[in-house]
């Protein structure tokens, strides 16, 4: 299965800051970075070689008229340029062979990194689930206690209001105002 290259994936990067990466993730991440850098380096070298090759081919074309006139200096220069082009072609070919292996190797390392990421995530999920399981009974207990206390407060307020009504009925509101001020 193909995955996005994790070291470039914003979601993966945000979930796994450096301090949360285990040894294996760090090792695989570094291998993957090195592999991607090497691929980019060889691709860059080939691009430069192709530009140089085109420059030499242009020079060969410009010398061809003089070579046709049997100009020895131009012939020697053209032979030297032709040898450089042949050497560049070999180098490009060698680099392109190397580049063929990179996608497969990058995907292999990326898959290992994904596998370790999945392991770490499942371990974290198990840890979090254990914490949730530990908190649930405590929360349930506190919830029951809170409900009991809310009900008790309601009953106490009812009793308070009943006593207040009794006093108001017995002594009247004016006497209650005087008693309240004491």
pTM of the model: 0.67
**Residue range 58-69, pLDDT digits in tens:** 988 888 777 666
* Weakly modelled stretches of the chain, pLDDT under 50: none
Determine the Cα–Cα distance for residues 145 and 151; give it in Å rounded to an integer.
Answer: 10
Instruction: Check residue 153 and report its DSSP letter.
Output: H
The reported pLDDT for the residue numbered 1 is 67
Determine the Cα–Cα distance for residues 93 and 103; give it in Å rounded to an integer.
Answer: 17
The reported pLDDT for the residue numbered 174 is 79
**Residue 130 CB neighbours (<10 A):** 10
Inter-residue contact 5 to 107 (CB < 8 Å)? no
Shortest CA distance to 180 belongs to which of 164, 169, 166? Answer: 164
| DSSP3 helix / strand / coil % (the chain, rounded to 5) | 90, 0, 10
| Domain layout of the chain by residue ranges | 6-135
């Amino acid at each position: 299965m193909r995955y996005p290259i994790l070291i470039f994936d914003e979601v993966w990067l945000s979930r796994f800051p450096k301090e949360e990466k285990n040894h294996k993730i760090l090792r695989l991440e570094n291998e993957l970075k090195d592999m991607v850098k090497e691929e980019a380096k060889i691709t860059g070298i080939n691009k430069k070689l192709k530009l140089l090759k085109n420059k030499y081919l242009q020079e060969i074309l410009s010398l061809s008229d003089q070579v046709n006139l049997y100009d020895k200096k131009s012939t020697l220069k053209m032979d030297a340029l032709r040898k450089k082009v042949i050497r560049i072609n070999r180098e490009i070919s060698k680099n392109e062979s190397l580049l063929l292996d990179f996608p497969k190797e990058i995907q292999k390392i990326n898959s290992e990194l994904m596998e370790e990421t999945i392991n770490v995530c499942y371990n974290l999920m198990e840890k979090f689930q254990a914490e949730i399981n530990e908190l649930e009974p405590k929360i349930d207990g506190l919830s029951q206690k809170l409900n009991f206390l809310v009900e008790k407060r309601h009953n106490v307020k009812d009793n308070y209001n009943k006593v207040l009504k009794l006093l108001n009925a017995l002594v009247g509101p004016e006497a209650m105002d005087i008693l309240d001020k004491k």
